[in-house]
Structure 1
């Protein structure tokens, strides 16, 4: 019984902290989930209801970009670490070379990330996927076999390392805007010359926000 009360208090505290970090009120959150404005205030301060209903909890977790377990959902079973967010590893390669083609976007595995780390970096797990780097054109920044985390969140273009699709081929390159209406695709490896293409000929899949690989 004591553990149950402690867990309930932890989840109420977590909701309050998430609301504060997002800069929103409990009343606004209550209205968002279709409740009266005092609903979540009573939950946090009085423990009434004792736990959030599943539908309410799911809406709040989606809004904050966290696992439902942070707001009181039971552990979903063996093989999954409660409190971590799953990001799919796709059966794709982004070429740091001549171009990777022919693969489908099929998730074959997952990486687990801390929801706090994702929030601190302004990332939403629903817009993330991990793929492998193939080739040496981005050495030493990205090496053959590295895993990269790609953020597909729609945002205004800014220069940086992105995954792009040219025709059927995926590439990972440093992108720079070149007026009027062109992009320069730059390799970190000096053996590869920059390439300029028209913006309409390039599909910018997403920005590379993290990398991992063996030493």
Structure 2
């Protein structure tokens, strides 16, 4: 009689952490910017064989555990010396990354603004941009309606400072969806949500239906 192979400890640990956090593998996959079935296939079918380094690091920071628990070899793990962290700390600002996507497409339903990581920006650069650190967050763009300006998977820096609505690229809430669009506020009582991709027609909405979350002031992404 052939015995079943022992459960993989990394996959078992990932399931345990997700259960403790009460978050689904589907939502975790979306947080990573992957196909919704990515982690389900990793756990159930063993594909991929191991987590990519970037994905493993993001999950470890989200759960607040060591990367070794998610498959990093011990000899490759390291810690940044505390002295190096303290040095020059006042010159940098850690801006929270939110586990929610801004859809440049049909619309993404938010699951709450859960902070899972940070991106470090120069305090001097933020000051020259006129940005207040406490009003900033970053999220990932999902979809192609803002191409070529914003592409699927781009990270955007959002300034949530309350200001009168104006033209430009903003993150908005419309019903149960979060969108990233250009705003045309020239018509009283109306807001037109405009996509840079001509395949998507403008969307006219009563101003009362649109909640402006913040203005997009920076983008970053893979080449």
TM-score, with normalisation over the residues of structure 1? Answer: 0.63
| Structure 1: tracts of 5 or more residues without a match | 1-75
Establish whether residue 204 from structure 1 lines up as the match of residue 212 from structure 2: yes
Secondary structure (helix, strand or coil) at the match of 1:118 reads helix
Out of 112-121 and 176-185, give the one that drifted further: 176-185
Match of 2:106 in 1: 98
Q: Deviations over 1:26-81 (max 9, x none)?
A: xxxxxxxxxxxxxxxxxxxxxxxxxxxxxxxxxxxxxxxxxxxxxxxxxx866566
Match of 2:165 in 1: 157
Which residues of 2 match residues 118-133 of structure 1 at below 5 A? Answer: 118-133=126-141
TM-score, with normalisation over the residues of structure 2? Answer: 0.60
| Structure 2: tracts of 5 or more residues without a match | 1-81
Q: Deviations over 1:144-164 (max 9, x none)?
A: 000000000011221000000
Which residues of 2 match residues 123-202 of structure 1 at below 5 A? Answer: 123-202=131-210
The structure with the largest alpha-carbon Rg is: 1
* Aligned residues: CA RMSD: 1.7
Kindly report structure 1 stretches of 4+ aligned residues shifted beyond 4 Å.
76-81
Q: Deviations over 1:67-119 (max 9, x none)?
A: xxxxxxxxx86656612111000001000001110421011000001010001
Match of 1:4 in 2: none
Match of 1:116 in 2: 124
Which of residues 107, 126, 129 is equivalent to 2:115?
107
Residue 178 of structure 1: how far off its partner (Å): 3.6
- Counterpart contact for 2:101–2:110, Cα < 8 Å: no
